[in-house]
Amino acid sequence: MNNSIRVRFAPSPTGPLHIGGLRTALFNYLFAKKNNGSFILRIEDTDKNRYRSGSEEHIIDSLKWCGLEPDESPFKPGRYGPYRQSERREIYKKAIQELIDKKSAYYAFDTKEDLEKYRYECEKKGQVFSYGHENRKGLKNSLNLGEKEVSKMIDSGEPYVIRFKTPANKTIVCEDVLRGSVSVNSNIVDDKILYKSDGMPTYHFANVVDDMAMEITHVIRGEEWLPSLPLHWMIYDAFECPKKPLFVHLPLILKPEGKGKLSKRDGEKFGFPVYATSWKEKNKEEIRGYREFGYLPVSVVNFLSLLGWNPGNEKEIFCLSELINEFDFKGLNKSGARFDPEKNKWFNHCHIQKTENNIFESMINEEFKEAHKTYNNQQTNKIIGLVKPRLETLDDLSKVCGFFYVDPVVFSEKSLKKFKNTNSDEILKSLAMLLENKEDQENLKEHLKALSKEKDWGFGKILGLLRLSIVGDLSGPDLFEIISLIGKETCVKRILSLISVLEKK
């Protein structure tokens, strides 16, 4: 038995990786790395009916973008492979036979029609049909049929499933790291199907078999799997497993408003991503992820880490290595964590401030190729320094720094209304003349103050019109820094352009 920490993230390729699943992967990764253990990616693809093309690639892409590289996976196999359940059929075949031999599982030949009939009869009596210890002896299965008859039915190709024989009248005491002991009477657990009629194992069976075979020490998964814990516990017992993994069921990520867990529809409703990277299905519109919305992977990881966990101090901004150092189970919460899209943006803003300028320089160069060449490195650095504090996402970059490279062609309507039907034309013409005639741009502020005093024009109005002509709006970085970078010729050209726009209003 391997004594080192081994955890797994085991998604099903039934669609894109939701950020709830990504957070589960993150907590597994953090715990493994904190304890010098292994983080394993296992693809649970036994449900062929729900399989969606591209899902596995999306899972891999999302983990890679966030820096959560598995130590073992279908693409980085170790000695515990294969890492896709569809490639582990022989392992499951052997394991299910072991349970049949131990009388912990049995063949069931009930047809869909048979089961519907039993359900209907129970409903007439005001009961709920459950295939279990109370009625299994009266149903069509190998517990009632002779060995020869069972063999004959199997050999003739009659469809069957294999069910778990849940022990009757037994108290199952399960352990969860967050919730302590959870006691359940086995009589409330029905005889779940372990093997389906298509020859594939169900999630419950494959999950336990793989965790044993891969020597998983800790199962860290979502709270929605807590009701399945007693069944999994009994399957471990049926295999006489010497040491079960420790179970940690993570709290749900809740909707921004109202009750229930976060869903894809919440993203559509509130306008935020619910996937790390974009998802595209054939003949359907692409759904953008955090990457495409201009979020940094470090900020997404940081934000997700604090949904259901806290470090026990006031610190909020973490990089991945810091999270690894800080993470432990003591910081996990039992109650659900509400998703806050605005807080998500705040984390991204904070990480953008810590990002090296050269990242932004390459983005600016790509966006404004020719115009970018007009600035030297020192000026570009200055531009980035001015706009960085105004960025919430990388997508905002061209918007907040575009006026350094491109003359505004659209002016804020609200701002234009503010200056319409006043002496704006006269002020703007005076500003153009002042900039053309004054060589010393360093004293521009003083010259403007003198103009304000001489003409009895409000200094705020002068600055507002000047900013509107240069930026296209009344907000932005320091106006005089902008003017010194773009130069007076560009300023004069933009002032004349605004005069033209106001004349048409």
The residues assigned a catalytic role are 264
The answer to whether 63 touches 41, Cβ cutoff 8 Å, is: yes
Burial of 503 (0-12, 13-18, 19+ CB in 10 A): exposed
Distances (CA, A) of 404 to 23, 193, 376: 39, 65, 13
Q: Which residues contact residue 214 at a Cβ distance below 8 angstroms, ignoring those fewer than 6 apart?
A: 6, 8, 40, 42, 80
Q: Which residues contact residue 140 at a Cβ distance below 8 angstroms, ignoring those fewer than 6 apart?
A: 108, 109, 110, 114
Q: Work out the end-to-end distance of the chain between its first and last CA atoms, rounded to an integer number of angstroms.
A: 81
Q: How many CA atoms lie within 13 A of 124 on its CB side?
A: 6
β pairing state of 38-41 and 6-9: parallel
Cis before 74? omega within 30: no
Show the tokens assigned to 86. Answer: 């569809």
Burial of 281 (0-12, 13-18, 19+ CB in 10 A): middle
Burial of 66 (0-12, 13-18, 19+ CB in 10 A): buried
Cis before 82? omega within 30: yes
Angle between helices 479-486 and 444-455 (to 10 degrees): 120
**CA dihedral (126, 130, 135, 140) positive or negative:** positive
The answer to whether 179 touches 173, Cβ cutoff 8 Å, is: no
Q: Please state, in angstroms and rounded to a whole number, the distance separating the CA atoms of residues 322 and 313.
A: 13
> Nearest 10 degrees: CA dihedral of 352, 353, 358, 360?
50
β pairing state of 246-250 and 218-222: parallel
Q: Please state, in angstroms and rounded to a whole number, the distance separating the CA atoms of residues 74 and 271.
A: 34
Q: What is the largest CA-CA distance in the chain?
A: 112
Q: Which amino acid is at 425?
A: D
Q: Which amino acid is at 427?
A: I
The answer to whether 21 touches 52, Cβ cutoff 8 Å, is: no
